[in-house]
Amino acid sequence: MSQKTYVEALREGMVLEMRKDPKVFLAGEDVGPFGGCFGQTQGMFAEFGPERVVDTPISETAILALGVGAASVGTRPIVELMFIDFLGVAMDELFNQAAKMRYMFGGKVLLPMVVRLPCGAGFSAAAQHSQCMEAWLAHIPGIKVVMPYTPADAKGMMIAAIRDNNPVVYIEHKALYGLVGEVPDGDYVAPIGKANVAREGNDLTLISWGAMVGKCLEAADALVKDKISAEVVDLRTISPLDKETILQSVKKCGRAVIVQEAVRTGGFAGEIAAVLAEEGFDYLNGPILRVTAPDTPVPFSPPLEAAYIPTVDKILAAVKSLY
């Protein structure tokens, strides 16, 4: 194990796979000599050169189309959009091409591509650079969607995503880039489709993913003084969803609060609530609650943005309303 930041860990995952497999390459805006908008690709251009670390034009459509075409003929591209918010420009390439090509060709074409998408609020980057849109992506059959929280998972899920023969959307929250944690050295794979119980508990299940896992862990620490033992389930993967881990935790604990940074209406928390209502209703000793952002664009104003993002206090208030 080594101590690494989240951004160092995800970069290490890319570098290790590029050293191992010459078919892996990276493409996106400013991923080359500049080293990425948030430093995610520093040093990679110097090691692998312009043919494998490709600076692209400012065209999300071109970047994703490059990935689809390259993956379909046997390479393993990692394509990056600078912000998840820009994905709308290239949705046809993702949901009509990448997600459907293997299905429509009867499995004769593989699509081993990774789409990297930085997301999230907290930097006064305003409404067009701060969104969490994982629920939008979970609605597309044919792609896998991961959203790791820990540096270890940032590395392990990157390696798993690159090796997968299906399109994987890898969402990285910008607020996590500086998070430090233990990361296994060498070849390390974190499974796609398997949630992680980040903290054991007995009285209540807090369910989250991405940066909000940290808020849930803080809330669980604070609940100790109220003699409430909270279990924290980190989904890690949005699609395919690990329903078994969620249901087993709620069966043990009897209460559930789901926390997401995304806006409330149509958010992925609603899908988890539906799973609990349909498959775990008998386990529940109270209503399923959601802590989310409000249904509004992300504000630029720092005080308004702070009010927009779910907080530990909001999680605690939801938990205490169940008792």
Task: Give residue-wise pLDDT tens across range 172-184.
Answer: 999 999 999 999 9
Instruction: Please indicate, yes or no, whether residues 26 and 63 belong to a single structural domain of this protein.
Output: yes
31-59 burial, b if ≥16 CB within 10 A, otherwise e?
bbeebbbeebbbebbeebeeebbbebeee
Average pLDDT over residues 147-167: 98
Average pLDDT over residues 148-156: 98
Instruction: Please indicate, yes or no, whether residues 155 and 273 belong to a single structural domain of this protein.
Output: no
Instruction: Please indicate, yes or no, whether residues 39 and 153 belong to a single structural domain of this protein.
Output: yes
Does 156 map to a domain?
Answer: yes
Instruction: Please indicate, yes or no, whether residues 86 and 170 belong to a single structural domain of this protein.
Output: yes
Q: Are 199 and 232 in contact (CB under 8 A)?
A: yes
Lookup result for tokens 């609060």? 257
Instruction: Please indicate, yes or no, whether residues 138 and 275 belong to a single structural domain of this protein.
Output: no
For residue 88, give every residue at least 6 positions away whose Cβ sits within 8 Å of its Cβ, in sequence order, or none: none
Provide the pLDDT confidence category of residue 142 given band limits of 50, 70 and 90: very high
Instruction: Please indicate, yes or no, whether residues 20 and 100 belong to a single structural domain of this protein.
Output: yes
Q: Final residue of a domain: which of 127, 156, 183?
A: 183
Instruction: Please indicate, yes or no, whether residues 26 and 156 belong to a single structural domain of this protein.
Output: yes
Instruction: Please indicate, yes or no, whether residues 215 and 169 belong to a single structural domain of this protein.
Output: no
What per-residue confidence (pLDDT) applies to 189? 98
Provide the pLDDT confidence category of residue 140 given band limits of 50, 70 and 90: very high
Instruction: Please indicate, yes or no, whether residues 221 and 164 belong to a single structural domain of this protein.
Output: no
- Mean pLDDT for the chain overall: 97
pLDDT in tens, 161-211: 999 999 999 999 999 999 999 999 999 999 999 999 999 999 999 999 999
Does 189 map to a domain?
Answer: no
Average pLDDT over residues 231-235: 98
DSSP result, 245-275: HHHHHHHHHS-EEEEEEEESTT-HHHHHHHH
Q: Which domain holds residue 26?
A: 2-183
Catalytic-labelled residue, pool 4, 11, 116, 129: 129
pLDDT in tens, 76-115: 999 999 999 999 999 999 999 999 999 999 999 999 999 9
Does 131 map to a domain?
Answer: yes
Output the domain CATH number for residue 90: 3.40.50.970
Number of domain units in the chain: 2
Q: Final residue of a domain: which of 138, 155, 183?
A: 183
Instruction: Please indicate, yes or no, whether residues 269 and 161 belong to a single structural domain of this protein.
Output: no
Provide the pLDDT confidence category of residue 246 given band limits of 50, 70 and 90: very high
Instruction: Please indicate, yes or no, whether residues 41 and 103 belong to a single structural domain of this protein.
Output: yes
Instruction: Please indicate, yes or no, whether residues 254 and 161 belong to a single structural domain of this protein.
Output: no
Q: Is 129 among the residues known to form the active site?
A: yes
